[in-house]
Every structure is written in C-alpha cells, then in structure tokens.
Amino acid sequence: MRSKRTGYSWILGALLALVLSAGPGTTGAQIPGGGHDPVIQLPGRKVFDVTGGRIQGTIPVLADSSEYDRRALRAAAAARRQSIRQLNDSTKRVVLDSLKLQKARLKADTSLVRYSRIFRDTLPLSRMSAISLVAPGFSQLHNKQYWKIPILYATVGTALGFGIHAQKQYAPLKKTYDGLIARNAPREEIDPVQTEMVKKNTQRTLLFAGAAAAYIYFIGDGAVNYPGTASSVKKATTLSTICPGAGQIYNKSYWKVPIVLGGFATMAYIIDWNSRGYKRFKLAYELATDGNDETVDEFNGRYSAELLRNTRNNFRRSRDMAIIYTVALYVLNIVDAHVDAQLKDYDVSDNLAMTVEPALTRFYTMRSSNNLLGLSLKITF
C-alpha cells in the first residue's frame, strides 16, 4: 500500500509541476504560501526547481553525487507529499482534468502517436494500396476491418485452388490436341478432345478471373474505407489505377463506365484473337519447315512456308499493337478520373459570365464636366 501511495504521489507531483509551469493567467494548481517551493523530481533523471508556482530551471543530477543520498530523497518525497496534501479537492480535480486533456490531445495528434502499434494512420493512401498489391489484406488490417480478411483469403484461395485444378486437367488435353493436329488426325478423333479442352479452358479462365476480381475488389475496398485524410482527387486516381472504371464510379460519371469497360473488353478480345492466330500459324510454319514429310500442318500444304511466316508475323504485330493500345487506354482512364475529380470542385455555375452593357460615365476636365455614353465590360466570377 505504501509503494502505491508513493507512486501516486510521484504522478501528482509531476502533474503539479506541469500545471504550475503555465504561469499567470492559466487555470492550474497554486501552492499556498508562495516563496520557494520544494524541489520536484519528475520521473527520469531531471530535477526541476519550482519557485512561486513556476519552474525556474533544471538541477543536474549526478549518479555518484552525495548530495542526493537516500535521506535527501526521502526528505524531498516527504515535502512533495506535504505539498499535495495542501491541495484542495477542486485543485486535484484540475490536475486530473489536465492529465485527461493532455492524453486526449496526444491521441488526436497523429504526427506524434501511432494509430496502432504496427501502423500509423498517417500512412498515405497510395503507399497503403501499393503494399496491399503484394500483401493482400493489408488495407483491411490498416483500416481495422479485420473481419474482411478471412473473406478475402477464402474467396481468392478457393477460386485460385479450383483454377489450378482446372489448369492441371487442361494441360494434358491441350498436349493431346496438339499431337492430333500435328499428325493430321481425322475430325472424329479430334472433336471429343477439343470439346473437353475448351470446357476445361473456360473453367480455368473463369476461376482465375474470379480470383483476380476478388483480389482487386478488396484492394479498392481498402482505398474507399481509408480512415486518413485523402482528397477526392487522390481517391479517384487511386481507384482508377487499381481497377479501370472504378474512379469513374467514384466520381459518379456512370456513363463513362461502359465506355471504359467496353474499350478494355474490345482490346482483350483483339489480343486474344491475334494471339491464337499467331500460335496457330506459328505451329503450321514449324511443321511445314521441319523437313519431316510425315508431319503435315493443318492446312495440308495448301499454303507455302513464306505465306505462313508472313501471316504469323502479321498476327504477332497486331497482338503487340493491341497491347500498346491497351496500356494507352489504361493511362487515359487514370487521367480522365483525375481530371474529372479536379473539375468536380470547379465552379461552372451561371455566375461565371462576361457581359457587355451600355454605361453612362461623367468625364471631367479642368474647365467643365460632360456625360459620356459608352460600353462597359463586366466579368462575374
């Protein structure tokens, strides 16, 4: 009990020194009698000299100094307890209220304290989203939405697991199909394998697309629920960077979403079409130039090797150009969301106008003054 009372006295003594250091004109505890108050030692190695209710300076303490022996420390503690006992209830309440106010200010000051033990709430939105790209769920952890993390990993993990399983079933079918094409097998033998291969390929594609969509969704969710201070421009730009069209939805420009998504869908179809054509004619060219008479391409030698090579190169060139156009569309989508968010705060009301009106002014000279009729240009903004 005595150690607890001594610790409580240390805390009140420290608070008393902080309150009295505010000086005249502030609300705080005053030690009766004025004059030279006892030396108050705060937690640590600093000793403050308090005179007339104000801290006058700091007295250095040496670890090996005989001036501060045990008896001196006990005497200072006794004097400190005596000073605290002289405080009335209202003054003690002021001291405790000052402590609560100081804690509240420190908690509200995000530049000095941590939002949590791991993360600061001053972490920029862009940096948080970038970390979430390599560590899914980081945004939800930073936003303290912990219940979303199991949903994220369950959704992405399930779709990814079934996608990998479909991929393992698709790979041998694709190898078998290529072998049948290489030896120019009849359609009755190719069709069943091709049907099953297309089925597994569709399942694989949908599952991988679902996993990617869930992954992107939770990154955008973290950006939308970001607890820190971020302008609408930054949020719209970040969302468009994460997922094309998300920034347009955030800006409430819904009519642009079909244009953005339609553009990306069109470019994806063009890339896929040219990629499949490139692989098709690449295989035909390799079979036509391998020097083996037993291997025949799917065109049964109707086309020359030069024509197959040129067609292959055309498909590859078209595919590469489509990829470049897709990147340009992606950048344009980000720029559009950024500019649109900037213009949301731009005043385009009817008050922005320029009018020309007749005006009557008075013209003064040294001998007379005359009324003049003219035009005035008025700009309202």
Percent pLDDT > 70 in the chain is: 63
**3-class DSSP assignment, residue 45:** coil
CB contact at 8 A, 120 and 110: yes
User: How is residue 16 written in tokens?
Assistant: 């008393």
Q: What are phi and psi of 312, to 5 degrees?
A: -60, -45
Confidence of residue 164 (pLDDT cuts 50, 70, 90): very high
Q: Which residue type is seen at 322?
A: A
Tell me which of 72 and 132 has the higher pLDDT.
132
The model's confidence at residue 190, banded by pLDDT at 50, 70 and 90, is confident
Residue type, 313: N
The SS3 assignment for 304 reads coil
> Looking at per-residue confidence, does 371 or 160 come out higher?
160
- Average pLDDT (178-203) is 85
CA angle 203, 206, 207 (to 5 degrees): 85
Name the token pair of 373: 């009729």
Strand bridging mode 47-51 / 40-41: antiparallel
Q: Which residues of 320-330 are buried (b: 16+ CB within 10 A; e: fewer)?
A: eebeeebeeeb
Residue 357 vs residue 338, higher pLDDT: 338
pLDDT more than 90, % of the chain: 28
Does 3 or 91 have the greater pLDDT score? 91
Mean pLDDT over residues 331-341, rounded? 92
- Higher pLDDT: 253 or 354? It is 253
Q: How many helices (H) and strands (E) does the chain have?
A: 11, 5
Instruction: Please provide the average confidence, as pLDDT, over all residues in the chain.
Output: 75
**How would residue 352 be classed by pLDDT, with cut points 50, 70 and 90?**
low
Q: Which of 83-87, 189-193, 324-328 is the most confident on average?
A: 324-328
**Above 80 in pLDDT, residue 256?**
yes
Is residue 371 within 8 Å of residue 363, measured between CB atoms? yes
pTM given for the model: 0.55
Is pLDDT at 104 greater than 80 in this prediction? Answer: no
Between residues 99 and 158, which one has the greater pLDDT?
Answer: 158
pLDDT tens, position by position, 127-160: 888 888 888 989 898 888 899 999 999 999 999 9
Structure tokens given for 354: 């320029």
List phi, psi (to 5°) of 71: -65, -40
Q: What is the pLDDT of residues 31-55, one digit of tens each?
A: 444 444 444 444 444 555 555 555 5
The amino acid sitting at 235 is K
pLDDT score, position 337? 92
76 confidence band (pLDDT: 50, 70, 90): low
- Give CA separation, 170 vs 164, 197, 198, 200, in Å: 10, 6, 8, 5
Q: What is the pLDDT of residue 327?
A: 95
